[in-house]
Amino acid sequence: MSLQAEQEQVVAPRAPAPARAPAPARAPALARASRAAAGEPDGAIGRALQPLNTARLRDDYQSQGSFLYLADFLPADATQQLIDAANALLPEVNRNYLPGHKAGGSVSRHTIDRLAPYIAELYRSPQLIAWLEKITGDRLQLSPEDDPHAYALYYYTRAGDHIGWHYDTSYYDGRRYTVLLGVIDESSCKLDYELHTKDPNKADEPGSVQYPPGALIVFDGDKLRHRVTPSLEGEVRVSLTLEYVTNPNMRPWRRFISNMKDAIAYFGFRQVFRKAFGGKA
């Protein structure tokens, strides 16, 4: 089996996205309601989408071979929620090393479910899913409960952490989309990619981005060839991946391959085979 396939993402330094303009003064009750709304991921997504020209971004996504990059997407308060979660989950990071292909740390959706509900709720944001459906042109579904990649954090915290060239191959019967959100980037890591590699009518088009906290990338996992370049001593980079599918069915043999890959390359056997271990994460 090829461990080349699969998950992962991206990079980027720079300070968190600048705070939005302060809201005008309101009556206390309304201000409280507004603060509560600001704390909800779906509300943050609503604010993120407001200034976007989705029709134009849809065209960009298509012309780039099912790839889109937005350097400034999440509002600053939502980005800060992700940064806080990434720091809080540091003790939960599972380190993996695949000689010649990958080194880094991961925190799976199972751990996030226990300790970082904001991320689990962000993944299910109705406004985010509806917008992604407009961009991709597909009806999207959540990844199954037992998929540790459904939402996961990836940590680059040691010199040489990286992932080599790969696709986020779909083991599902349908397509698999990857959304990357920049969380922390105090690194020189770059997400290198090649567009159109599966399109015989277009020349391959290389690109590279160092995506900052709050940035968003979305792509069809089977179409974008990509890698993350190695981090240097003292650097830290954390990104959040969200995975959506068009058909959550997976045939047993593919399930086995996918589970083995996830256990070895990402989350460890205990996280991936939770049922066999009595359901403990």
Q: How far apart are CA 169 and CA 177, in angstroms?
A: 9
Closer to Fe ion by CB, 8 or 92: give it: 8
Query: Cβ of residue 40: shortest distance to Fe ion, in angstroms?
Result: 29
Least distance from Fe ion to the Cβ atom of residue 114, Å: 25
Give the Cα separation of 275 and 269 in Å (integer).
Answer: 11
Cβ 268 to Fe ion shortest distance, Å: 19
Give the range of 5-13, 23-31, 122-130, 135-143 binding Fe ion by CB under 5 A: 5-13
Encoded tokens for 131 = 């917008």
Q: Decide if 212 contacts 155 (C-beta within 8 A).
A: no
Write the CA distances from 177 to 1, 25, 26, 99, integer angstroms.
Answer: 21, 40, 40, 27
Give the binding range for Fe ion (CB under 5 A) out of 3-11, 141-149, 232-240, 245-253: 3-11
- Residue 243 touches Fe ion, criterion: CB under 5 A: no
Sign of CA dihedral 155, 159, 161, 164: positive
Cβ closer to Fe ion: 38 or 98? Answer: 98
DSSP state of 24: P
Letter string b/e over residues 183-212, b meaning 16 or more CB atoms within 10 A of that residue's CB: bbbbbebbbbbbbbbeeeeeeeeeeebbbb
Residue in 8, 147, 185, 235 binding Fe ion, rule: CB under 5 A:
8
Nearer to Fe ion, 75 or 237 (CB): 237
Least distance (Å) from Fe ion to the CB of residue 225? 9
Select 165 or 256, whichever has its Cβ closest to Fe ion. 165
Q: Which two tokens stand for residue 148?
A: 């540790």
Q: Tell which positions 124-163 bind Fe ion, by CB under 5 A.
A: none
- CB 169, min distance to Fe ion, A: 9
Q: Candidates 1-9, 81-89, 117-125, 139-147 — which segment interacts with Fe ion by CB under 5 A?
A: 1-9
**Residue 165 or 277: which CB sits closer to Fe ion?**
165
In 3D space, the residue among 147, 234, 192 whose CA is nearest the CA of residue 11 turns out to be: 192
Name residues contacting Fe ion, limited to 160-179 (CB under 5 A): 168
Sequence-distant (6+) residues with CB within 8 A of 28 are: none
# of chain residues touching Fe ion (CB under 5 A):
2
Nearest to 74 by CA among 19, 141, 137, 129: 19
> Which CB, 166 or 196, lies closer to Fe ion?
166
Part of the chain binding Fe ion (CB under 5 A), chosen from 8-16, 96-104, 142-150, 265-273: 8-16
- If the CB atoms of residues 44 and 107 are measured against Fe ion, the closer one turns out to be 107
Q: Phi and psi dihedrals of 58, rounded to 5? A: -60, -40
Nearest approach in angstroms of CB 224 to Fe ion is 8
Specify the residue, 157 or 178, whose C-beta has the smaller distance to Fe ion. Answer: 178
User: Residue 223 — left, alpha, or beta (φ > 0 → left; ψ -120 to 50 → alpha)?
Assistant: alpha
Q: Site residues (CB under 5 A) for Fe ion?
A: 8, 168
